[in-house]
Structure 1
């Protein structure tokens, strides 16, 4: 289904590219200020929330997972072993590379997308899955990564989040 491909894959790639730019800008500012990057990568918004590294990993996971589910392809496994900004950039790059391999013709509107919700399999049509599950999850983690950096004094703005900064 070309329309679903056109609405999902470019959207996910654009979001990941924006997240990559935000991380590059934050890393450059950390270098300028001589801030400890290990500390930055482990920041979180609240004690019970995941740290910056985890937010980026999850944005990657939801991006590649959505592409895989919608196209009926295997979701590539990525271990959560990133420890540096460079590692996170590599993960984002691998996720984008995977999304670029997906073919429009594999996006079947009749495909059922099954995911686990509250421990049980739940079926969705592809459009509902993308709009009600994939997009909110992807944006939650990408936005939280941005907000962790912004709330800790990084000079980032809305245009940075949108990939235009």
Structure 2
């Protein structure tokens, strides 16, 4: 369970931080306000780049915290800039890395509930939370963030998404 959660979230959060570095460099080179990039979306009813990054962070943090039986790291409701998003990613990585491995590994059959922003709770076991909700949600938002940046012209390749292992 730990390898399938923290072992997956942490390296891909690092990759996401790298994508934001490339977005910053792209904006600087073209004299574009980075806020313009953060406001881009693939379709009018989809989250913008900043929200996609925030949701990827949230699913990694909340999913990991639920597995470990801990309160998740909370972030401000303010609209973050690129530097703040990178800071949130770093905080999320530190939080996830600090969770007890043994408790996460023992969480497969534990009953957990993911609370949506609306307040509604979705019941899961640790295993189903991870495999059918947290990991798919994380990768949906991470992929969409990557796609927004590619669509905006940031020179990214698959290796930027997957990491340089």
Fold equivalence (TM over 0.5): yes
SS in 2 for 1:50: coil
Task: Give the Å deviation of 1:116.
Answer: 4.5
C-alpha separation in 2, matches of 1:125 and 1:34: 48
Task: Give the Å deviation of 1:47.
Answer: 0.9
The size of the alignment, in residue pairs, is 162
**1:115 equivalenced with 2:114 (yes/no):** yes
Structure 1 ranges of 4+ moved more than 6 A? none
The answer as to whether partners of 1:82 and 1:88 remain within 8 angstroms in 2 is: no
Q: What's the CA shift string for 1:100-150, capped at 9, x where partnerless?
A: 111112122331112257975442221111010001110111111111110
C-alpha separation in 1, matches of 2:134 and 2:140: 10
RMSD: 1.8
Task: Give the Å deviation of 1:40.
Answer: 1.0
C-alpha separation in 1, matches of 2:109 and 2:141: 29
Matched residue, 2:10: 13
Task: Give TM-score, length-normalised by structure 1.
Answer: 0.91
Task: Give TM-score, length-normalised by structure 2.
Answer: 0.91
Task: Give the Å deviation of 1:8.
Answer: 1.1
Task: Give the Å deviation of 1:57.
Answer: 0.7
Gapped regions of structure 2 (runs ≥ 5): none
